[in-house]
Amino acid sequence: MGKDRFDGPVIGVDLGGTNMAIGVVDEKGRILGRCKRKTKALEGRDKVISRLVEGIERACGEAKLSLKDIAAVGVGAPSAVDWDKGLVIHAGNLGWKRVPLRDILAKKLDRPVVVDNDVNVAAFGESRVGAGKGRGDLMAVWVGTGIGGGFVLNGKLWRGPLHTAGEIGHVIMFPGAGPGHRKLEEHCSRTAMVRSMLMLIGHYPESMLREFLKPGDDGAEPTIGSGVIAECLQKGDPLVTSVVNASADLLGLAIANFLTVLSVPTVVLGGGVTEALGKPWLHRIQEAVEQHVFPSSLRKCEVHLSELGDDAGLLGAAMLARETASA
Protein backbone atom coordinates (compact mmCIF):
# COMPACT_ATOMS: atom_id res chain seq x y z
CA MET A 1 0.00 0.00 0.00
CA GLY A 2 1.25 3.47 -0.84
CA LYS A 3 1.39 6.23 1.70
CA ASP A 4 -1.65 7.96 0.18
CA ARG A 5 -3.70 4.90 1.14
CA PHE A 6 -3.63 6.03 4.75
CA ASP A 7 -5.23 9.37 4.01
CA GLY A 8 -8.49 7.40 3.72
CA PRO A 9 -10.84 6.23 6.47
CA VAL A 10 -9.82 3.95 9.34
CA ILE A 11 -11.79 1.99 11.92
CA GLY A 12 -11.60 2.65 15.66
CA VAL A 13 -12.99 0.19 18.22
CA ASP A 14 -13.51 0.73 21.95
CA LEU A 15 -14.01 -2.81 23.23
CA GLY A 16 -15.47 -2.93 26.74
CA GLY A 17 -16.77 -5.65 29.00
CA THR A 18 -20.36 -4.42 28.55
CA ASN A 19 -20.41 -2.54 25.23
CA MET A 20 -18.33 -2.16 22.12
CA ALA A 21 -18.27 1.13 20.23
CA ILE A 22 -17.11 1.14 16.62
CA GLY A 23 -16.55 4.06 14.28
CA VAL A 24 -15.31 4.84 10.79
CA VAL A 25 -13.00 7.85 11.12
CA ASP A 26 -11.57 10.12 8.44
CA GLU A 27 -8.15 11.79 8.41
CA LYS A 28 -9.52 14.85 10.28
CA GLY A 29 -10.91 12.79 13.15
CA ARG A 30 -14.53 12.99 12.01
CA ILE A 31 -16.72 9.95 12.59
CA LEU A 32 -18.40 8.96 9.33
CA GLY A 33 -20.31 5.91 10.57
CA ARG A 34 -20.95 4.22 13.89
CA CYS A 35 -22.11 1.00 15.47
CA LYS A 36 -22.61 0.27 19.15
CA ARG A 37 -23.33 -3.27 20.33
CA LYS A 38 -23.49 -5.24 23.54
CA THR A 39 -20.30 -7.21 24.11
CA LYS A 40 -22.01 -10.22 25.73
CA ALA A 41 -18.71 -11.48 27.08
CA LEU A 42 -20.31 -14.54 28.71
CA GLU A 43 -20.98 -15.97 25.26
CA GLY A 44 -17.26 -16.52 24.84
CA ARG A 45 -14.34 -15.15 22.86
CA ASP A 46 -15.30 -16.32 19.40
CA LYS A 47 -18.82 -14.92 19.52
CA VAL A 48 -17.56 -11.58 20.85
CA ILE A 49 -15.08 -11.33 18.00
CA SER A 50 -17.75 -12.31 15.45
CA ARG A 51 -20.03 -9.61 16.88
CA LEU A 52 -17.16 -7.14 16.62
CA VAL A 53 -16.59 -8.00 12.95
CA GLU A 54 -20.32 -7.61 12.24
CA GLY A 55 -20.26 -4.25 14.00
CA ILE A 56 -17.35 -3.08 11.85
CA GLU A 57 -19.29 -4.07 8.73
CA ARG A 58 -22.36 -2.17 9.97
CA ALA A 59 -20.32 0.96 10.71
CA CYS A 60 -18.84 0.76 7.20
CA GLY A 61 -22.34 0.43 5.81
CA GLU A 62 -23.50 3.54 7.65
CA ALA A 63 -20.52 5.40 6.19
CA LYS A 64 -21.41 4.00 2.75
CA LEU A 65 -18.04 2.27 2.52
CA SER A 66 -16.82 -1.29 2.23
CA LEU A 67 -13.99 -2.94 4.14
CA LYS A 68 -11.80 -2.55 1.07
CA ASP A 69 -12.03 1.22 1.56
CA ILE A 70 -10.61 0.96 5.09
CA ALA A 71 -6.89 1.59 5.54
CA ALA A 72 -6.47 0.03 8.99
CA VAL A 73 -8.29 -0.98 12.16
CA GLY A 74 -7.42 0.00 15.73
CA VAL A 75 -8.82 -1.64 18.87
CA GLY A 76 -8.66 -0.50 22.49
CA ALA A 77 -9.05 -3.49 24.82
CA PRO A 78 -9.64 -3.51 28.61
CA SER A 79 -6.36 -5.27 29.33
CA ALA A 80 -2.63 -5.00 29.33
CA VAL A 81 -1.64 -5.65 25.72
CA ASP A 82 1.56 -7.06 24.25
CA TRP A 83 1.90 -4.38 21.59
CA ASP A 84 4.46 -6.22 19.48
CA LYS A 85 2.29 -9.34 19.22
CA GLY A 86 -1.14 -7.74 19.33
CA LEU A 87 -1.91 -10.01 22.27
CA VAL A 88 -4.60 -9.27 24.88
CA ILE A 89 -2.79 -10.52 27.98
CA HIS A 90 -5.60 -10.67 30.54
CA ALA A 91 -8.97 -8.96 30.16
CA GLY A 92 -10.83 -9.95 33.32
CA ASN A 93 -14.18 -8.44 32.34
CA LEU A 94 -14.04 -10.31 29.03
CA GLY A 95 -12.76 -13.56 30.50
CA TRP A 96 -9.84 -13.51 28.07
CA LYS A 97 -6.24 -14.61 28.61
CA ARG A 98 -3.52 -14.34 25.98
CA VAL A 99 -5.87 -13.81 23.06
CA PRO A 100 -4.05 -12.93 19.77
CA LEU A 101 -6.72 -10.40 18.84
CA ARG A 102 -4.66 -8.55 16.24
CA ASP A 103 -3.95 -11.65 14.18
CA ILE A 104 -7.50 -13.01 14.50
CA LEU A 105 -9.05 -9.74 13.30
CA ALA A 106 -6.47 -9.17 10.57
CA LYS A 107 -7.31 -12.57 9.12
CA LYS A 108 -11.07 -12.01 9.30
CA LEU A 109 -10.98 -8.45 7.95
CA ASP A 110 -7.98 -8.62 5.60
CA ARG A 111 -6.89 -5.23 6.93
CA PRO A 112 -3.91 -4.10 9.06
CA VAL A 113 -4.92 -4.19 12.74
CA VAL A 114 -3.39 -2.69 15.87
CA VAL A 115 -4.46 -3.49 19.45
CA ASP A 116 -3.65 -1.54 22.59
CA ASN A 117 -4.93 -0.92 26.10
CA ASP A 118 -8.21 1.03 26.25
CA VAL A 119 -6.93 3.94 28.34
CA ASN A 120 -3.76 4.11 26.24
CA VAL A 121 -5.82 4.69 23.11
CA ALA A 122 -8.03 7.21 24.92
CA ALA A 123 -4.90 9.10 25.96
CA PHE A 124 -3.66 8.97 22.37
CA GLY A 125 -6.97 10.26 21.07
CA GLU A 126 -6.93 13.21 23.47
CA SER A 127 -3.35 14.00 22.45
CA ARG A 128 -4.20 14.06 18.76
CA VAL A 129 -7.71 15.49 18.45
CA GLY A 130 -8.86 16.24 22.01
CA ALA A 131 -7.92 18.20 25.12
CA GLY A 132 -4.21 17.49 24.70
CA LYS A 133 -3.94 18.49 21.04
CA GLY A 134 -0.89 20.69 20.54
CA ARG A 135 0.09 20.47 24.21
CA GLY A 136 2.92 17.93 23.94
CA ASP A 137 3.44 15.24 26.57
CA LEU A 138 0.49 14.31 28.72
CA MET A 139 -0.82 12.00 31.39
CA ALA A 140 -4.38 10.68 31.05
CA VAL A 141 -6.40 9.43 34.03
CA TRP A 142 -9.71 7.65 33.43
CA VAL A 143 -12.00 7.22 36.45
CA GLY A 144 -14.96 4.87 36.27
CA THR A 145 -15.63 1.47 37.77
CA GLY A 146 -11.86 1.32 38.19
CA ILE A 147 -9.01 3.73 37.43
CA GLY A 148 -6.65 3.54 34.49
CA GLY A 149 -3.92 5.75 33.14
CA GLY A 150 -1.96 6.39 29.98
CA PHE A 151 1.09 8.44 29.02
CA VAL A 152 2.05 10.16 25.80
CA LEU A 153 5.76 11.02 25.97
CA ASN A 154 7.80 12.54 23.17
CA GLY A 155 4.70 12.32 21.01
CA LYS A 156 4.30 8.57 21.41
CA LEU A 157 2.44 6.25 23.74
CA TRP A 158 4.65 4.98 26.54
CA ARG A 159 3.79 1.35 27.19
CA GLY A 160 6.96 0.19 28.91
CA PRO A 161 8.95 -2.89 27.85
CA LEU A 162 6.56 -5.14 29.78
CA HIS A 163 3.46 -3.51 28.20
CA THR A 164 1.79 -2.40 31.46
CA ALA A 165 2.70 1.30 31.85
CA GLY A 166 -0.15 3.45 33.10
CA GLU A 167 -1.78 1.11 35.62
CA ILE A 168 -2.04 3.89 38.17
CA GLY A 169 -5.19 2.50 39.77
CA HIS A 170 -3.10 -0.29 41.24
CA VAL A 171 -0.57 1.99 42.92
CA ILE A 172 -0.41 1.27 46.66
CA MET A 173 -1.44 4.35 48.64
CA PHE A 174 -1.99 2.76 52.07
CA PRO A 175 0.38 -0.20 52.53
CA GLY A 176 -0.73 -0.80 56.12
CA ALA A 177 -4.42 -1.12 55.24
CA GLY A 178 -6.26 -4.39 54.82
CA PRO A 179 -7.11 -6.08 51.54
CA GLY A 180 -9.41 -3.96 49.40
CA HIS A 181 -8.25 -0.71 50.98
CA ARG A 182 -4.65 -0.32 49.81
CA LYS A 183 -4.77 0.76 46.17
CA LEU A 184 -5.71 4.08 44.59
CA GLU A 185 -8.74 2.67 42.77
CA GLU A 186 -9.93 1.10 46.02
CA HIS A 187 -10.51 4.65 47.27
CA CYS A 188 -11.13 6.85 44.22
CA SER A 189 -13.09 4.81 41.66
CA ARG A 190 -16.88 4.90 41.49
CA THR A 191 -16.95 1.40 43.00
CA ALA A 192 -14.88 2.61 45.93
CA MET A 193 -16.88 5.78 46.46
CA VAL A 194 -20.15 3.88 46.52
CA ARG A 195 -18.72 1.39 49.00
CA SER A 196 -17.68 4.25 51.29
CA MET A 197 -21.08 5.91 51.03
CA LEU A 198 -22.90 2.71 51.92
CA MET A 199 -20.59 2.13 54.85
CA LEU A 200 -21.15 5.67 56.21
CA ILE A 201 -24.81 6.20 55.41
CA GLY A 202 -25.92 5.20 58.88
CA HIS A 203 -24.26 8.36 60.16
CA TYR A 204 -26.19 10.53 57.67
CA PRO A 205 -29.91 9.90 58.28
CA GLU A 206 -30.90 12.89 56.12
CA SER A 207 -28.80 11.93 53.11
CA MET A 208 -30.80 12.04 49.87
CA LEU A 209 -28.83 8.98 48.82
CA ARG A 210 -31.30 6.92 50.82
CA GLU A 211 -33.96 7.65 48.20
CA PHE A 212 -31.85 5.97 45.55
CA LEU A 213 -31.36 2.88 47.69
CA LYS A 214 -35.03 1.95 47.72
CA PRO A 215 -35.98 -1.04 45.54
CA GLY A 216 -37.73 -0.12 42.31
CA ASP A 217 -41.40 -0.77 41.66
CA ASP A 218 -40.39 -3.92 39.81
CA GLY A 219 -38.40 -5.13 42.82
CA ALA A 220 -35.08 -4.50 41.07
CA GLU A 221 -32.05 -3.97 43.27
CA PRO A 222 -31.07 -0.29 43.46
CA THR A 223 -27.82 0.89 41.92
CA ILE A 224 -25.79 4.01 42.50
CA GLY A 225 -24.23 5.19 39.26
CA SER A 226 -22.13 8.21 38.46
CA GLY A 227 -25.24 10.21 37.57
CA VAL A 228 -26.75 9.65 41.02
CA ILE A 229 -23.51 10.70 42.70
CA ALA A 230 -23.40 13.83 40.54
CA GLU A 231 -27.01 14.76 41.39
CA CYS A 232 -26.42 14.35 45.11
CA LEU A 233 -23.20 16.32 44.90
CA GLN A 234 -24.85 19.17 43.02
CA LYS A 235 -27.54 19.40 45.70
CA GLY A 236 -24.97 19.53 48.47
CA ASP A 237 -25.63 16.16 50.09
CA PRO A 238 -23.10 16.08 52.98
CA LEU A 239 -22.34 12.35 52.76
CA VAL A 240 -21.71 12.36 49.03
CA THR A 241 -19.79 15.62 49.20
CA SER A 242 -17.51 14.26 51.91
CA VAL A 243 -16.72 11.05 50.04
CA VAL A 244 -16.26 12.68 46.64
CA ASN A 245 -13.98 15.39 48.00
CA ALA A 246 -11.83 12.88 49.86
CA SER A 247 -11.51 10.81 46.68
CA ALA A 248 -10.60 13.87 44.61
CA ASP A 249 -7.97 14.92 47.15
CA LEU A 250 -6.35 11.48 47.13
CA LEU A 251 -6.45 11.22 43.34
CA GLY A 252 -4.86 14.66 43.07
CA LEU A 253 -2.10 13.55 45.42
CA ALA A 254 -1.42 10.46 43.30
CA ILE A 255 -1.35 12.52 40.10
CA ALA A 256 1.04 15.00 41.75
CA ASN A 257 3.40 12.14 42.55
CA PHE A 258 3.47 11.05 38.91
CA LEU A 259 4.00 14.63 37.75
CA THR A 260 6.86 15.03 40.20
CA VAL A 261 8.56 12.01 38.62
CA LEU A 262 7.70 12.62 34.95
CA SER A 263 7.40 16.43 34.76
CA VAL A 264 4.74 16.43 32.05
CA PRO A 265 2.83 19.67 31.38
CA THR A 266 -0.69 18.34 30.87
CA VAL A 267 -3.15 15.99 32.57
CA VAL A 268 -6.42 14.92 30.94
CA LEU A 269 -9.20 13.49 33.10
CA GLY A 270 -11.87 11.24 31.62
CA GLY A 271 -14.12 8.28 32.31
CA GLY A 272 -17.69 7.96 33.53
CA VAL A 273 -17.10 9.52 36.96
CA THR A 274 -15.25 12.50 35.50
CA GLU A 275 -17.92 13.12 32.86
CA ALA A 276 -20.67 13.04 35.49
CA LEU A 277 -18.95 15.17 38.14
CA GLY A 278 -17.44 17.68 35.72
CA LYS A 279 -15.70 20.90 36.67
CA PRO A 280 -16.15 20.76 40.49
CA TRP A 281 -14.35 17.38 40.45
CA LEU A 282 -11.67 18.75 38.14
CA HIS A 283 -11.06 21.83 40.29
CA ARG A 284 -10.77 19.81 43.50
CA ILE A 285 -8.22 17.50 41.87
CA GLN A 286 -6.32 20.49 40.44
CA GLU A 287 -6.06 22.03 43.92
CA ALA A 288 -4.66 18.80 45.36
CA VAL A 289 -2.16 18.52 42.50
CA GLU A 290 -0.93 22.07 43.11
CA GLN A 291 -0.66 21.42 46.84
CA HIS A 292 1.52 18.31 46.54
CA VAL A 293 3.51 18.51 43.30
CA PHE A 294 7.26 19.21 43.39
CA PRO A 295 8.92 21.48 42.46
CA SER A 296 6.63 24.49 42.68
CA SER A 297 7.16 25.27 38.99
CA LEU A 298 5.04 22.19 38.19
CA ARG A 299 2.01 23.87 39.72
CA LYS A 300 1.47 25.40 36.30
CA CYS A 301 0.71 21.93 34.90
CA GLU A 302 -2.73 22.15 33.30
CA VAL A 303 -5.48 19.69 34.22
CA HIS A 304 -8.22 19.37 31.61
CA LEU A 305 -11.45 17.47 31.21
CA SER A 306 -11.60 15.08 28.27
CA GLU A 307 -12.93 16.80 25.16
CA LEU A 308 -13.75 13.52 23.41
CA GLY A 309 -15.87 11.92 26.14
CA ASP A 310 -17.23 8.52 25.20
CA ASP A 311 -15.50 8.76 21.81
CA ALA A 312 -11.97 9.06 23.23
CA GLY A 313 -11.22 5.33 22.96
CA LEU A 314 -12.79 4.95 19.54
CA LEU A 315 -11.02 7.99 18.09
CA GLY A 316 -7.74 7.18 19.78
CA ALA A 317 -7.76 3.63 18.42
CA ALA A 318 -8.45 5.01 14.95
CA MET A 319 -5.67 7.62 15.18
CA LEU A 320 -3.23 4.99 16.45
CA ALA A 321 -4.15 2.63 13.62
CA ARG A 322 -3.59 5.36 11.04
CA GLU A 323 -0.22 6.49 12.39
CA THR A 324 1.05 2.96 12.96
CA ALA A 325 0.04 1.61 9.58
CA SER A 326 1.46 4.59 7.72
CA ALA A 327 4.79 4.62 9.61
The tens digit of pLDDT for each residue in 95-140 reads 999 999 999 999 999 999 999 999 999 999 999 999 999 999 999 9
Residue 305 has pLDDT above 90, yes or no: yes
State the Cα angle at 92 between 86 and 98, rounded to 5°.
30
Q: What is the mean pLDDT of residues 261-287?
A: 96
Please give the CATH architecture assigned to the domain spanning 138-307: 2-Layer Sandwich (3.30)
CATH number of 3-129+311-326: 3.30.420.40
For the chain, what percent of residues have pLDDT higher than 70?
95
Count the Cβ atoms, other than its own, within 10 Å of residue 190: 23
Positions of CATH 3.30.420.40 in the chain: 3-129+311-326, 138-307
**Cβ atoms 74, 321 nearer than 8 A:** yes
Q: How far apart are CA 209 and CA 218, in angstroms?
A: 20
CA–CA distance, 266 with 249 (Å, rounded to integer)? 18
Number of H helices, E strands in the chain: 10, 13
- Per-residue confidence (pLDDT) for residue 216, from 0 to 100: 61
pLDDT digits over 215-230, tens only?
765 556 678 999 999 9
Predicted confidence (pLDDT) per residue in 144-181, tens digit:
999 999 999 999 999 999 888 999 999 999 999 999 99
Q: What is the pLDDT of residue 1?
A: 38
Q: Could you tell me where the beta strands, DSSP code E, fall in the chain?
A: 10-15, 19-25, 31-38, 73-77, 81-82, 87-91, 96-99, 113-117, 138-143, 147-153, 156-157, 266-270, 302-305
pTM of the model: 0.92
Q: How confident is the model at residue 308, as a pLDDT?
A: 96
Rounded to an integer, what distance in angstroms lies between the CA atom of residue 65 and that of residue 59? 9
Angstrom distance (rounded) from CA 46 to CA 108:
12
CB atoms near residue 250 (< 10 Å): 18
